[in-house]
Structure 1
Amino acid sequence: MTKHARRFPEFYITAPQPCPYLPNRRERKLFTHLVPGKSSAIIDNLLTNGFRRSQNIAYIPYCENCSACVSVRIVVDQFERKRTNKRIWKRNHDLYVERVSAIPTAEQYALFSDYVGTRHADGGMADMSALDYSMMVRDSVIDTFLSEYRQRPEDAAPDADPQDWPLVAVALCDRLSDGLSLVYSFFDPELSWRSLGNFIILEHIEQARREGLPYVYLGYWIKDSPKMAYKTRFQPQEHLTARGWVLYEPEDGEE
């Protein structure tokens, strides 16, 4: 095998299995392994053009007779918080965020377990061990980091160390050439009133703005899946189509 061939991705297709988002559908994925030695430019090109990363695998839906999954990215420099998003931002004014290296901790895993056990008890991540979680965080050949969100106690001293405050949310994120890609996030399931999942997206939009990055990638959106409805709250956004990335025109009622 030539050096060029070793650096070029080899693609595989998964066997059909039940779709987790749409009833009576079967899903397949096209995927490739992201390993050291693969061209960083090729990996970046995959992840900025519809592929998603899970550990060291990049995948994209490859379903027969179905194209419901649409890649979505927020246009950062045109984004403005409106109505619902303004309320969510204000609601979480007492949170402290810190970007940390992609290194798992027991504190993170405890929060992750509570989140998955409450929100996704029947999903494929429900039985993830501490080692599984560690691999999810660590196993990356690109620039990956964590955002930790901690709640400032009402009686916190001015010189208090934020690392002593309760951890309420975590986001695993990739830094790409033109944006931030949210890989996975989790949060305290008892704090539903905070809308932490939405706040994490809002906060990463501001981080991308500070870094001069034009996009925040949200993964896939499915129009007919209620689980995905929140993604259209962040406008303007672009959707990946057969014509490339195009500006999405919101329907009535979408911000």
Structure 2
Amino acid sequence: MAAHGDNNEELRLFQTGEHACGYWPERQARDLVLDPQDRRLGALYPMALTWGFRRSGDLVYRPHCEGCRACVPVRIPVARFNPDRSQRRCLAHNADLDYRILPAERTEEQFALYQRYLQHRHLHGGMDDHGPHEFDQFLIGSWSHGRFMEIRTPGAAGKRGQLLAVAVTDVTEQGLSAVYTFFDPEQAKRSLGTYAILQQIAWAQRNGLPHLYLGYWINGHRKMDYKRRFHPLEYFDGKRWMPGGQDNADGFP
């Protein structure tokens, strides 16, 4: 991919060496990354979203594996989104919750919830020993476009309610990007991951932003299956964004 920044400097892309695939343990993966030392990285990131890239800390990357194209970038055109019956039930079930948008700054309460989430969902997965530094490095970075959406139970007598979830969300002129969500593992019945996406869609709609970027969808992967339930869903074929199939899977490569 050839590209130039606003000052006409060439944009450099690097391919990483092979590393263990985070989705299929038996496979090896590679990534295409924007030059991490490029001082324009924060300004280039919104456009990179439209090229199928994603952010992890300060790293802007896209999977680029030899012989494998399983990771498909997907996004929701929020103006045309219609919740299905299950998503409407999720909204109704969580109608008692409050949420607010905050700067991307770690608090002790958020970090404690993050640790509980990792211990439950990613035990021995390489992230369960994350400390405060890793939290900041992974979710915030040095040039973050991010905000934290806190989801809580209602407070009483002027106090904040219990923190149930945090949705780390990047805000750009191209739309919102759902970077990462962590939630109370004891609240599984609330489907807080789905609820967070529904609130991010509403957030984008309120602000007149065109898309919510959901990262990568992987056909046949249990942890990624929820993404195809959002209608309509567009996918990036390497050159352009395309509409998904009727069930948000049939039209994907």
TM-score (norm 1): 0.89
DSSP-derived class of the 1:50 partner: coil
Report the equivalent of 1:95.
97
Report the equivalent of 1:188.
184
Q: Which moved more, 1:127-136 or 1:4-13?
A: 4-13
Report the equivalent of 2:165.
169
Please tell me whether the aligned partners of residues 139 and 180 of structure 2 are also in contact (alpha carbons under 8 angstroms): no
**In structure 2, distance between residues paired with 1:252 and 1:75:** 13
2:107 matches 1:111: no
**In structure 2, distance between residues paired with 1:95 and 1:228:** 25
2:18 matches 1:22: no
The equivalent position to 1:71 in structure 2, one of 70, 73, 77, is: 73
DSSP-derived class of the 2:128 partner: coil
Residues 29 and 187 of structure 1, relative CA distance in 2, 3 Å threshold: same
Q: Which moved more, 1:189-198 or 1:175-184?
A: 175-184
Alignment deviations for residues 64-115 of structure 1 (CA, whole Å, 9 cap, x no partner): 0011110000110111112100011111111111110011011000000000
Count of paired positions: 246
Please tell me whether the aligned partners of residues 231 and 248 of structure 2 are also in contact (alpha carbons under 8 angstroms): no
The equivalent position to 1:50 in structure 2, one of 37, 44, 52, is: 52
- What is the correspondence of 1:7-18 to structure 2 with a 5 Å cutoff? 8-18=10-20
Report the equivalent of 1:213.
209
DSSP-derived class of the 2:143 partner: coil
Report the equivalent of 2:236.
240
DSSP-derived class of the 1:98 partner: strand
2:78 matches 1:81: no
Report the equivalent of 1:122.
124
**In structure 2, distance between residues paired with 1:8 and 1:253:** 36
DSSP-derived class of the 1:175 partner: strand
Q: Which moved more, 1:126-135 or 1:113-122?
A: 126-135
**In structure 1, distance between residues paired with 2:96 and 2:124:** 32
2:232 matches 1:230: no
TM-score (norm 2): 0.89
**In structure 1, distance between residues paired with 2:194 and 2:220:** 20
Alignment deviations for residues 207-237 of structure 1 (CA, whole Å, 9 cap, x no partner): 0000001110000000121111000011101
Please tell me whether the aligned partners of residues 168 and 187 of structure 1 are also in contact (alpha carbons under 8 angstroms): yes
Unpaired stretches in structure 2, ≥5 consecutive residues: none
The percent of aligned pairs where both chains have the same amino acid is 38
Report the equivalent of 1:147.
149
Unpaired stretches in structure 1, ≥5 consecutive residues: none
